[in-house]
Structure 1
Amino acid sequence: MGRGGNQLFDDSRDVFLSVACLGSQWGNVQDVQYLPRGGLFASVNLMGMGDSSNLKSLYNDLYVKYLSFVGFQEEEGVLKKKKGGLKLKIKVKNPSLRRLISGGIAGAISRTAVAPLETIRTHLMVGSSGHSTTEVFKNIMQTDGWKGLFRGNLVNVIRVAPSKAIELLAYDTVNKKLSPAPGEQPKLPIPASLIAGACAGVSSTLCMYPLELVKTRLTIQRDVYNGIVHAFLKILREEGPGELYRGLAPSLIGVIPYAATNYFAYDTLRKAYRKYFKQEKIGNIETLLIGSAAGAVSSSATFPLEVARKHMQVGALSGRQVYKNVIHALACILEQEGIQGLYKGLGPSCMKLVPAAGISFMCYEACKRILVEDDEKT
C-alpha cells in the first residue's frame, strides 16, 4: 500500500484488520496492534489532515469523548494501549437524560431476569393456581409451558423501564439538592436519602400505575384479554377509567416506606462500605450485594400492603370480595386467612425483589459510568 501508509489487510498474518502507524505526528508506533478476524474496529491512519494539534483535536472529539471501545493513551509521542480491556464511553451532557437512560436500562434488565419469579409471586398472592411455589410452578408449566412464566413480561418491561427511570431521576435529583456539601451541617433533621427515596417512589407510582394494573390482569385473567391495548380498552369500556387506578391507595401507602427504606438502606450501606474499606469506588459485585440487601429489608417491611394491593387490583375475579379500602382489605385477609395470609408469597417475593434490586442498582451504576458528561467524568 506504499511506504508509511495504512495496512488494512495483511496477508502474512491471520488477521482481519491491522492497526497501522499513525504517521509522524505522534511518532512511530513500534508495536503494531493486530485484531483477530471479526475485530471490533480498526484505527485508520489520518495522514494529510493538517498539523498535529488539529489531528489530536479531531481524534479526541470523535473517539475519546464519544466512543472508546478499547482504551488508548498517548505517552511520550507513542500511542499505547491502556490496560483494562473493553471499555465503552458515550457522551451525554444532560445529567437528567443520563439518569433517565441509566434507570430505564437498569429496570428493563432487572425485571426481565426475574420475570418467572414475579409470575409465581402474583399467583401465590391471589391463590389462583396453588398454595405453594412448587404447586404454582407445576400448574403454570402444565397449562402454558415456559411461556406462561413470562406472561405479562412485555407489559412489565414497558412499565418498569420508564418507572425506574423516573424513580432514579427523582431520587438522584432530590438527594443531590438535600444532601449537605462536604463539611456542612445536614439541611434536614432526617437523612436526605430517606426523603429522596419516598419522593422517587411516589413519582414513579403516579406515572406508571395503570400499566401495573394491566400487567396484573394479564397475568391472572389470561383468557380474558388478548394483549395490552385490548386490556386497556376493555377495562375502560366495561369498568371505567377509575378502574385503572384501583388499589392506588395501598400502592402509594406502601411505596413510601418501601422506597424510602430501600434507598436509605442502599445509601447507608454504600457509605459504610466506603468507610470500612477506605475506598471511594465500589465494584459491580459489591453494588449487587448492597442493592440486594437493601431490597430484602424494604420488601419484608412492606409486604402486607403489597398483598392488599394485589387483592384490590384483581377485584371481583372468580367471585372474590371487592374491598372498600386498604384497611378493609387488610382486615378481611387477616380475618379469613390469619397473619400468614398477609405474608403469603413472601418467599418468592424476596427471591424476586432481592436480586431485582441488586441487579437494578448494579446496572444503574454501570450505565452512569458509561454515559458521561465528558471524557474525564464517570
Structure 2
Amino acid sequence: MSVASQKKSLPFGYQFLAGAIAGISEICTFYPLDVVKTRMQLERGQSPSLVASFRNIVAQEGFGRLYKGLVPPLLLEAPKRATKCQWSRLLEPPLMPIKYSGQSTMTLGLSTLTGCSAGATESFVVVPFELVKIRLQDKATTFKGPIEVIKHILKTEGALGLYNGGYFGTIFQVKAYLPKPDSPQSRLMNDFVAGTFGGLVGTAMNTPFDVVKSRIQGAGKVPGVVPKYGWTYPSLALIAREEGLRALYKGFVPKVLRLAPGGGVLLVVVEVTLGFFRKALGPPYI
C-alpha cells in the first residue's frame, strides 16, 4: 500500500468533538448515579443502600434533585476530552518518536502511560468543577447554582480553595484477549466490553480516593477551625479508623454502575461518531 493510499487519522478537532459528544451522552444518562454516590460518600456512619438513597432523594427533594449540579460536569467535558485526545495523539506511535518510546505500535505500557498522563494533567482542570458539583449535590446545600458556589468559595477560601492509569491500560489488555472483530457490530461490542471492564477496574482502584475527595470538597472552610479532612493519606487513615475499611468504598455500587457500563457507552459513542466523520470526509480518512 502506498503512502498516499494509507488511511489517515482524523484531525484533532473531529476526535475532540467525538469525545465531547460521547462524554455528554454518558453524563446525561448516568448522572443520577453520581448524585447518589456523592450522597453516600458524604454520609458519616452507616449510609443507606443504593435503592434507599434513590427513593429518599426523590421522595424528599423531588426527581429534579437527581440532576442537581449537572452544569459543571457538562461544562467540564470540552476541556476534559481535549486533554485526553491531546495526550493520546502525543504518546501514540508514530506521533511519539520511536527513539523515546521504543515502540512502533500501541502497547499496554504506552496505553497506561497515556491514561496516567491525561489524568494528571486533567486534574488541574477537573478539580474546580468537581468541587462545585459536590457542593451542589450535598443534601444540606443552600446554593442555587454553580455561580453562587464559586463566588462563595472565592470569598471565603480564596482561589486556591477551588483546588481543595488503570482505565486505559485495562481497555488495551481486554481488547487484546477479545476475538478479533470481523464486522462493525463486533468491533462495537468489543469496545463496549473493554470499556466496561476498564470502568470496573478503574472504579475499584480509585473509590477510596474518591471518598476522601468528596469529604474534603464537601466540607466548607470555617475560619479558625482546622478541617477534619485535609490531606489524602491522613484522611484515608482517619476514615478507616473511625468508620472501618468498608467506609472507604462508600458509593462504590452507584459509581461502578455508572462507570462500568458508562465506560462501554463512552467508547461505543466515540467510535460511532468517528465512523460518521470518516464517512462524511471520505478518503483518505475512510
Q: Distance in 2 between matches of 1:320 and 1:133?
A: 32
TM-score normalised per structure 1: 0.64
CA-to-aligned-CA distance 1:67-111 (integer Å, 9 cap, x gap): xxxxxxxxxxxxxxxxxxxxxxxxxx9611112111111110011
Query: Does the C-alpha gap of structure 1 residues 221 and 132 become closer, same or farther in structure 2, counting only changes over 3 Å?
Result: closer
- The equivalent position to 2:238 in structure 1, one of 313, 329, 332, is 332
Query: Does the C-alpha gap of structure 1 residues 289 and 190 become closer, same or farther in structure 2, counting only changes over 3 Å?
Result: closer
Deviation at 1:185, TM superposition (A): 5.9
Unaligned runs of 5+ in 1: 1-92, 247-259
Deviates more, 1:234-243 or 1:201-210: 201-210
- The equivalent position to 1:215 in structure 2, one of 133, 140, 152, is 133
Query: Does the C-alpha gap of structure 1 residues 300 and 131 become closer, same or farther in structure 2, counting only changes over 3 Å?
Result: same
Deviation at 1:222, TM superposition (A): 5.8
Q: Distance in 2 between matches of 1:288 and 1:320?
A: 45
CA-to-aligned-CA distance 1:111-149 (integer Å, 9 cap, x gap): 111011111111001117943212221221122211011
Unaligned runs of 5+ in 2: 1-8
Q: Distance in 1 between matches of 2:226 and 2:85?
A: 36
- The equivalent position to 1:292 in structure 2, one of 186, 196, 215, is 196
- The equivalent position to 2:91 in structure 1, one of 154, 174, 188, is 174
Aligned length: 270
Q: Distance in 1 between matches of 2:276 and 2:60?
A: 42
Which structure is higher in RCO with an 8 Å CA cutoff and minimum separation 6? 2
Deviates more, 1:164-173 or 1:337-346: 164-173
Residues 156 and 221 in structure 2, CA contact (< 8 A), matched pair in contact too: no
Q: Distance in 2 between matches of 1:367 and 1:162?
A: 18
Q: Distance in 1 between matches of 2:142 and 2:13?
A: 38
Identity of aligned residues (%): 21
Q: How does 1:194-233 map to 2 (within 5 A)?
A: 194-220=112-138, 223-233=141-151
The residue number in structure 1 matching 2:157 is: 239
Q: Distance in 1 between matches of 2:86 and 2:107?
A: 23
Residues 151 and 219 in structure 1, CA contact (< 8 A), matched pair in contact too: yes
Counterpart of 1:106, as a letter, is A
Q: Distance in 2 between matches of 1:194 and 1:237?
A: 39
The residue number in structure 2 matching 1:277 is: 180
- The equivalent position to 2:34 in structure 1, one of 112, 118, 121, is 118
Query: Does the C-alpha gap of structure 1 residues 287 and 103 become closer, same or farther in structure 2, counting only changes over 3 Å?
Result: same
Counterpart of 1:365, as a letter, is E
Aligned-CA RMSD value: 3.0
The structure with more helix, counted as a fraction of residues? 2
Deviation at 1:240, TM superposition (A): 1.1
SS at match of 2:281: coil
Q: Distance in 1 between matches of 2:11 and 2:163?
A: 32
